[in-house]
Structure 1
Amino acid sequence: MMKRRTFLGSTTALFGTTLFTGAMPLVATAQTEPVTGGTLIWGHSETTQNLDMHQTGTASTGRVLQNVHNSIVTVDKDLKVIPMLAESFEQSDDGLTYSFKLRPGVKFHDGSEMTAEDVKYSFERCADPATGAVNFEVFNAVDTIETPDDMTVIVKLKSVNAPFLSRLAENGAGVVMPAGSGDVQGETPIGCGPFRFVSREFGNKVELARFDDYWDGPAYLDGVTAREIPEPTVRLTGLRTGELHMINDIPADRTQEIEDDASLQVVKWFPLNWDFVNLNHTFEPFQNPDVRRAFDMIIDKEALLEGALWGQGQTTASPSYPTSASYDDALTQRAQDIAAAKQMLADAGYPEGSLNIVFKATTNYPYHIESAQILVEWFREAGVTLTIEQLTWADWLSQCWVDKDYQMTMMNFFTLWEPDFLYYSLWNSTGAFNYRGISDPEIDRMTEEARTTVDPAARAEIYKAVQQQIFDQAHDIILWFRNGSIGAQPGVGGLDTVVHPNGSNFNFHKVWLQA
């Protein structure tokens, strides 16, 4: 397949120490000093689902809720854990006790003031199996949560959990909600972030308004309206006509065009997320690792990247964050070899014409549909019939994520910069994100061992071994990292503050609109 376009920028620079590699062109009419007022209309590339920050497993929802909630701790640009709702924190020498001194004067959107009771409630709610929290296992090692006074929380563990603090730096586990608010969080989330939730029209928009009592100072914007527009061309048209102030995920085939347009601003960064092809391990053919390896060998990852993403990313055999010490850069993808794959399938008992596979892809990610369409021809050459079934995002979540009712699919994950979050959630047999039915005792052992390994270098080596096992067994087919991009009108200021260090979440606290 011919390359559609050359990836902009040096891969050396992209894999350097700076995550945020994009830059905005100078716009002559832009004001340099922030002003207050106006509602930002954001063309959000995805649709939100359950608004309960504990229960939601979708980055699309988390990207909006990032502005409604704050966590007890967060990370800086180097992904180092720093205080947030906790003014300070300490870890005991034996790694079993974490003490948090809370920031005074933090108010929730319901007018109440945050105390240790709210933190204890939030942590216990996340840990409670009845809640259905996707990050419940963060608290598996917790023995007690003590609140000696209103501004102090002491968490004691039964055993060492080395990634505990960094897992709290994501809103999913570390979010602090008002005590007793769990029942309303799914429809009307209440937090203490810079914006308060106003309303949601499912599949259409979410409206947020500035919270004037935000502990870190009020936002410049009066509000943010997230218009949910999965169709890339519709999103881009809205930006060009001025209907939208900002969009994320500039259509891959139009990125250069928008970058060359002096009337618009563009921000790019690497990576936004990583993508992989999923094989349902409860489906009989995929219980055989040779079948999974053969399917991996059918795919030309570079050609797929060019065909579906127009080169807006970089292939990888590892899903680890590319700047992480746990990223195994020595791991290389299987090359496409359709003849060898065809023979491997025949040897496994699946000769040409005997496999008819349904590939479920969601229209929430149009490039997943394009990827599936490209795969059809390669699989036909290998003697496998691939039929595409297109699903809405809600249907994909219901069928593939919850019911595990699929044979083959494709998904991407955001924000999993923390290796425990990544490997335990996705590949441990009890992991909250293990919707493929993977059960590998060796991975279970290693991901548990990593949790009790305090030395960072030793932990990184364990995760490299996990990556090797995932590859050797072809549990999933890792494809690429995808670039992130934002297009905006010239009157939008503060775009350099929008992207969270994890590359996925957006924060509009310091964004403003030209008067």
Structure 2
Amino acid sequence: MHDETTRRPPSPEHSQDHSRDRFPDSSPDHFPDSSPDRFPGLRRRGFLSATGAASLGALVLAGCGGSDSGAGSGGSKGDGTPKRGGRLRAAFAGGGASETLDPHLANLFADVARAKALFDKLADYGADLSARPRLAEKWESNRTLDRWQVTLREAAFHDGRPVTAKDVLHSYRRIADPKRAFRAKASLEPIDLKASRATGERSVEFVLKRPTAEFPNILAAFGAYIVPENANEFDRNPIGSGPFRFVSFTPGRSAVFSRNGDYWEGAPHLDEIEFVVANEESARVNALVGGQVEYAHELNPATARAHEGKGRIEIVRLRGSSMQGFCMKTDRAPFDDKRVRQAFFLIADRRELVDGALSGAGETGNDLFGKGYEYYPDGLPQREQDLDRARALLKQAGAENLRVALDTSAVAAGFTEAASIFRDQAKKAGVTVDVRMGSKDSYWADILDNGTLCCYRSGAMPIEAHISQRLLTGSTTNATKWRHKDFDALYQQAQSTPDRTDRAAVYERMQRRLYSEGGFLIWGFADWIIGTAKTVNGVDTEAPANTLDWARFDKVWLA
């Protein structure tokens, strides 16, 4: 989930956040000892990456839409022939009595997992955060990249109606309603929805306000689900085109869905999926170990170490799901001097931060977002701690004996630990860091405007979206206050470049500048950890959270 710029749980980022969960409203035989006391109301929220356009590879992409059966596009936990039948109970952190099945309001991990079970998008993000076809069978642009023709595959809603161009336009216009606060609204901003039109029952011409080479990633935007024309109510009997059909829903407790035997990508192996609420990590773990659920989302590294290889449950690590770093405000002292920012890059011992703040459950960063994603510049040298050079840069900047406050909070796992570790590292360079604890409730809103240095993280999102949402002069979540007209111009150049190789070269140029003098000190990428029962098979082990093959319960089966 998304950079955590909206209010979210104590444990991710994006988690753009950096979650909400539900608890079974099923009978005791489904959930022994299922009293509310065992699974208290929401106290933590999972994370989602921030809304936004994504990045694409080709101007024309036709595809079969998705992952292979059983395991998605990456590795899979469990081997053998898929077996049909059974109910899988999945525990997520929830959102309390205000929860909804409206897919356009999906903000937390539980929301998204339920939404992708009931609904489809035109595209979704692959493991490398490039766009993959879903309800869109193919897309093609004109030469100027400001008109895109999207052809829909043959698919049907749960009531038998075909998915049509009218449904797509209704869905996008609903999301764009200025009176509503739907998640994908900002992502759809480049589309002129008044001028866009159906050109056939299964074809849509999207007219854009400006050239947009990464348009297919807009189709994959978080929350951009397709609903039937005129659909506006979703909590009583939601109709989607996804792999599962609605059975029941009790906000803050449970949602039960059954297999859609007519699903366009193939019927799920499971007969039913039940999403239950367990807001505390300990409650999810205890339910999993005790056999009350078969899938537990969002476990911490200590839990993983305690259970990995012990035989009772399986631990699945989704690598690179959450960027971890410090945010330096480039518009105010002392970080308005790039030499101070460069000094801080050299103060950080990234391995020590990963080992200490993440308990080793992650890999080191290199001050750039999106390691392993499409357009990431792998050729840049790995930055190492260099205290002598850091002291020299601070001296050049007249910032010897520097004292600075570092804002942190228990809002996300590892934040307070990272702040303490970095404080000690900075001391060796002659910098005094005063760690300042913030409120879990207001932290993500406060850090966008206040202070000078803060702990930060983000869930998976395309590199292009990270740039457009956080690093342009007009970006709404520009936490580092990075505002440079020439940088903005490079972004527009990339969006106007049809050739992918040429476009990648522009993105690399932009990222090299950020590597040299940007405001994000990105020290690591954390694993996202899931626990499953030994009977669960088909869980993808390579897809970061927020991507297509994460929470693909239609690909899971019970042994």
Q: What band does the TM-score fall into relative to the shorter chain?
A: 0.7 to 0.9
Q: What are the within-5 Å matches in structure 2 for residues 246-285 of structure 1?
A: 246-281=295-330, 283-285=332-334
Cα drift, residue 225 of structure 1? 1.7
Matching residue within 506, 509, 512 for 1:462: 506
Look up the match of 1:6: none
Q: Distance in 2 between matches of 1:192 and 1:237?
A: 34
Look up the match of 2:442: 395
Q: Distance in 2 between matches of 1:190 and 1:362?
A: 39
Q: What are the within-5 Å matches in structure 2 for residues 341-490 of structure 1?
A: 341=390, 344-345=393-394, 348=397, 350-352=399-401, 354-355=403-404, 357-363=405-411, 365-381=412-428, 382-392=430-440, 394-400=441-447, 404-416=449-461, 418-490=462-534
Matched, 1:308 2:357: yes
Matched, 1:70 2:120: yes
Q: What are the within-5 Å matches in structure 2 for residues 148-297 of structure 1?
A: 148-157=199-208, 159-173=210-224, 175-181=225-231, 191-195=240-244, 196=246, 198-201=249-252, 207-210=255-258, 212=260, 215-216=263-264, 219=268, 220-229=270-279, 231=281, 235-281=284-330, 283-297=332-346
- Residue segments in structure 1 that go unaligned for 5+ positions in a row: 1-17
Q: What are the within-5 Å matches in structure 2 for residues 125-164 of structure 1?
A: 125-127=174-176, 131-132=180-181, 133=183, 136-140=186-190, 142=192, 144-157=195-208, 159-164=210-215
Q: Distance in 2 between matches of 1:325 and 1:80?
A: 6
Structure 2 SS opposite 1:286: coil
Structure 2 SS opposite 1:306: helix
Cα drift, residue 277 of structure 1? 1.4
Matching residue within 340, 355, 366 for 1:317: 366
Are residues 66 and 345 of structure 1, via their aligned partners in 2, closer, same or farther at CA, if it must alter by over 3 Å?
A: farther
Cα drift, residue 20 of structure 1? 7.1
Are residues 99 and 413 of structure 1, via their aligned partners in 2, closer, same or farther at CA, if it must alter by over 3 Å?
A: same
Quick check: 316-325 or 275-284, which moved more? 316-325
Q: Distance in 2 between matches of 1:316 and 1:335?
A: 10
Cα drift, residue 489 of structure 1? 0.9
Determine if contact 1:346/1:352 at 8 Å carries over to the other structure: no
Are residues 251 and 83 of structure 1, via their aligned partners in 2, closer, same or farther at CA, if it must alter by over 3 Å?
A: closer
Cα drift, residue 85 of structure 1? 1.9
Matching residue within 86, 100, 105 for 2:136: 86
Determine if contact 1:313/1:482 at 8 Å carries over to the other structure: yes
Determine if contact 2:487/2:510 at 8 Å carries over to the other structure: yes
Are residues 262 and 24 of structure 1, via their aligned partners in 2, closer, same or farther at CA, if it must alter by over 3 Å?
A: farther
Deviations 1:322-377 (A, max 9, x none): 4445221222354334455456446545553643x1412343x3222322232232
Matched, 1:491 2:544: no
Structure 2 SS opposite 1:294: helix
Determine if contact 1:361/1:372 at 8 Å carries over to the other structure: no
Q: Distance in 2 between matches of 1:339 and 1:53?
A: 52
Structure 2 SS opposite 1:172: coil
Structure 1 SS opposite 2:363: strand
Q: Distance in 2 between matches of 1:286 and 1:57?
A: 32
Q: Distance in 2 between matches of 1:46 and 1:293?
A: 41
TM normalised by structure 1 equals: 0.78
Are residues 352 and 318 of structure 1, via their aligned partners in 2, closer, same or farther at CA, if it must alter by over 3 Å?
A: closer
Matching residue within 136, 139, 152 for 1:102: 152
Deviations 1:162-203 (A, max 9, x none): 110133134434x22344556x679998744334482432xx
Structure 2 SS opposite 1:509: helix
Structure 1 SS opposite 2:510: helix
Determine if contact 2:153/2:202 at 8 Å carries over to the other structure: yes
Are residues 200 and 71 of structure 1, via their aligned partners in 2, closer, same or farther at CA, if it must alter by over 3 Å?
A: same
Quick check: 117-126 or 500-509, which moved more? 500-509
Look up the match of 1:10: none
RMSD of equivalent CA atoms: 4.0
Cα drift, residue 476 of structure 1? 0.8
Determine if contact 1:97/1:155 at 8 Å carries over to the other structure: yes
Look up the match of 2:4: none
Bigger helix fraction: 1
Determine if contact 1:19/1:77 at 8 Å carries over to the other structure: no
Cα drift, residue 288 of structure 1? 3.0
- Residue segments in structure 2 that go unaligned for 5+ positions in a row: 1-70
Cα drift, residue 429 of structure 1? 2.2
Equivalent residue letter for 2:517: Q
Q: Distance in 1 between matches of 2:450 and 2:495?
A: 31
Determine if contact 1:239/1:488 at 8 Å carries over to the other structure: yes
Structure 1 SS opposite 2:553: coil
Cα drift, residue 304 of structure 1? 0.6
Deviations 1:432-489 (A, max 9, x none): 4423332122321111111011111111111111111112223111122223443211
Q: Distance in 2 between matches of 1:130 and 1:211?
A: 35
What is the aligned-residue identity percentage? 21
Count of aligned positions: 480
Q: Distance in 1 between matches of 2:549 and 2:415?
A: 18
Equivalent residue letter for 2:454: T
